[in-house]
Amino acid sequence: MSGKSSREERREQRLQQESEGERQERRKRLLQIGSALVFIAVVAVAVVIVVNSTGGDGGGEVDLEDTSLVEDQLSGIPQQGMALGQPGAKVTLYEYGDLQCPVCKAYSEEVIPNLIDSGVRGGAAKIEFRNFTIIGPESVPAGAAAVAAGMQGRGWDYIELFYRNQGPEASGYVTDEFLTEVAKGAGVPNVAKWNKDRKSSKVISEVEATTKEAQTLGFTGTPSFAVEGPGTSGKESLGTPGSAGEIEAAIEAAS
């Protein structure tokens, strides 16, 4: 009787030991899985951060060029909204442009600096940039970003710096990061406000309105120019003049 009981006790003990062993084994296995998860998480976070810091997601750092060149070119000239020059200048030259347009970039680099030196800096004329978004959908946020910068007196810094750092047409380079870097480079004082303004319906509507206006004036390409002054009857279309000289002559005639 007692022999049977001790056999049962031993059996019970053995089963308990086996069960405890299984539990220990299971615990060991689960802890190993936990360690593997930690390892994977550390590697994943490290990889994502490294990829991000090298710009692999397309939204990395933007190295702007010609920031000081633009600053020098525009220094000392008053700006109001998208207009560059003395507010009381008799003649206004309107430029209808698209920030993504490579021809506009060429004008910005080769024609506009001459006009600034010959007419704008002296106070004879002011140039007003108006968005004419024809390249692609990204032209609208780009134009809106410039208008929002104009609300803080940095519209022309924004336009000129954008052109100097323009990417290939509609290639997707117009990201929030790119626009923000241009705003910072252009010296927009309150970037948070600019960020809010550029997305506002008021600013987007303005970009759409000036595009419609350009179409009403009969323009089909960018940049297109118009001039208005005492010598003109309202806004006179100049189309796309081939040189700074032609525009200077038009300003002279409008004076």
Partner 1 sequence: MSAPAEGTLRAIATFVATFGIGVATYITIADSGGGSPVCVAGGSGCETVADSSYSHLFGANIAVFGIVGYVLLLTVALLRGDGARMAGFAISLGGFGYSVFLTYLELFKIEAICQWCVASAVLMTILFGLNAVRMVGYVGRPA
Q: Which residues bind partner 1 (CB under 8 A)?
A: 23-24, 26-31, 33-34, 37-38, 41-42, 44-45, 48-49, 52-53, 59, 175-177, 191-193, 195-196, 199
Compute the least distance from the CB of residue 17 to partner 1, in Å.
16
CA distance 227 to 231: 10
When the beta carbons of 157 and 197 are compared against partner 1, the nearer one is 197
When the beta carbons of 7 and 196 are compared against partner 1, the nearer one is 196
Compute the least distance from the CB of residue 183 to partner 1, in Å.
12
Q: Look at residue 236 and give its three-state secondary structure.
A: strand
Compute the least distance from the CB of residue 189 to partner 1, in Å.
12
**DSSP letter, residue 30:** H
When the beta carbons of 203 and 254 are compared against partner 1, the nearer one is 203
Kindly report whether the peptide bond that precedes residue 223 is cis, defined as omega within 30 degrees of 0.
Answer: yes
Compute the least distance from the CB of residue 196 to partner 1, in Å.
7
Closest CA to 171 of 58, 53, 61, 57: 58
When the beta carbons of 29 and 202 are compared against partner 1, the nearer one is 29
Strand order in the sheet with 91-97: 79-80, 83-84, 125-131, 91-97, 224-228, 236-239
When the beta carbons of 7 and 28 are compared against partner 1, the nearer one is 28
User: In terms of C-beta density within 10 A (0-12 exposed, 13-18 middle, 19 or more buried), how is residue 155 classed?
Assistant: buried
Alpha helices in the chain (DSSP H): 2-53, 67-74, 102-110, 112-115, 139-150, 155-164, 176-185, 191-198, 201-216, 244-254
What are the beta bridge partners of residue 79? Answer: 84
HSE-CB of 66 using CA atoms within 13 angstroms: 16
Task: For the chain, give the number of residues.
Answer: 255
Compute the least distance from the CB of residue 16 to partner 1, in Å.
13
When the beta carbons of 47 and 209 are compared against partner 1, the nearer one is 47
Compute the least distance from the CB of residue 172 to partner 1, in Å.
13
User: In terms of C-beta density within 10 A (0-12 exposed, 13-18 middle, 19 or more buried), how is residue 7 classed?
Assistant: exposed
Compute the least distance from the CB of residue 198 to partner 1, in Å.
9
When the beta carbons of 105 and 154 are compared against partner 1, the nearer one is 154
